[in-house]
Structure 1
């Protein structure tokens, strides 16, 4: 994706989010220069992968296959083993009309996917086939929508109206899109690890490759490694150079 297009998507997303009365945290609006100046104070942001996330899954067609996300909070995967600490995460997302987030599953993360407003959110659901890499095309899928048990055939489409949510457990294969319009989507989950806990049915990438045709308005979470090393020292060669 071109950086200029990423900048546009972030601006459009912020307006859409605000139209529903949801306001992002202050660090969302720091410029790259402000992040550089405040790097010593933002270890938790960088380490948890908090912030802007725009992906076309490496396929170059964001309008058809893509998703906007902002990770608001996220705990540490290491704490899951002890059952103590910050064991949860929260995202706000935008699923555009007919824009598909492709079929995938998680190994660790359980999540509530919530329609926060807009059009209907459609999800296609399958069970895992037991291999961890394929779908069961025959078995019924049981999920809970706001505590109500729902049973769908394999590959069935679940539509969530504004205010409704569905709980997806590890192994629930799912893809989703805005049905009839754009949707503001919430996600509340166990600790989120986008680097290792996404298994896609088709071989695609989780993050986009960015073509630097413009300066970034705001950094993406996928920019952090290129801009900063783990010790907090700004890299001599920045992503924008």
Structure 2
């Protein structure tokens, strides 16, 4: 993606999120220069990969296949073995109308996907066999605590205020907005986005590349390694 397009998506997404009364944390609005200047005090932000995350899944067609995310909080995956610590994460996301987030599952992350407002959030679901998406297998999910048995390929439609709970290595899912853009909340197990996503289509990459045609408005989480010097 071109940096100019990323900057545009950031501005549009911030405005959309604010329209629902949700405001991103202060560090979201740091310039790259301020982030560099505050790099040492912001080490926890960098380590947890909190912040802006815009992906076209490596396909170069964001409007067709893509997702806006902002990781608001996230712990350390290593703490899962200890059974204590910050074992949770939260994301704010936007799925645009008819914008596809490809079929995938998670290795460790259990998640609640919540329609916070806007259009209808459509989630397509399949079961798992041996770590692979099984299009002959249905799933069982909880929607706001209600158990639902779903046949393979079911398209669960969540209206604003509704949610679904998805479990790792069990629920293969893809999603998109219908009848408008959707503001999505995600509450989940602590996770590492660089390793936890398994896609059905081997062409898909969780993080795409950036073509630098202008300066970044704000840094993406995928920019941290390049734009912020290593701590001394």
TM-score range, shorter chain: over 0.9
Question: Which structure 1 residue ranges, 5 or more long, are not aligned?
Answer: 234-241
Alignment length (residue pairs): 230
The CA RMSD measured in Å over matched residues stands at 0.8
2:143 aligned with 1:145: yes
Shift of 1:113: 0.2
Shift of 1:151: 1.3
Q: Distance in 1 between matches of 2:4 and 2:139?
A: 41
Give the alignment's TM-score, normalised by structure 1.
Answer: 0.94
Please name the residue that 2:165 is paired with: 167
Please name the residue that 1:12 is paired with: 12
Shift of 1:120: 0.4
Please name the residue that 2:28 is paired with: 28
Q: Distance in 1 between matches of 2:153 and 2:138?
A: 9
Q: Distance in 2 between matches of 1:137 and 1:103?
A: 11
2:125 aligned with 1:125: yes
Paired residue secondary structure (1:45) = helix
Q: Distance in 1 between matches of 2:205 and 2:103?
A: 12
Paired residue secondary structure (1:41) = coil
Q: Is the 8 A contact 2:125 2:153 kept in 1?
A: yes
Q: Distance in 1 between matches of 2:200 and 2:138?
A: 19
Q: Distance in 2 between matches of 1:30 and 1:140?
A: 45
Give the alignment's TM-score, normalised by structure 2.
Answer: 0.97
Please name the residue that 1:200 is paired with: 199
Please name the residue that 1:75 is paired with: 75
Alignment of 1:42-121 (within 5 A): 42-121=42-121
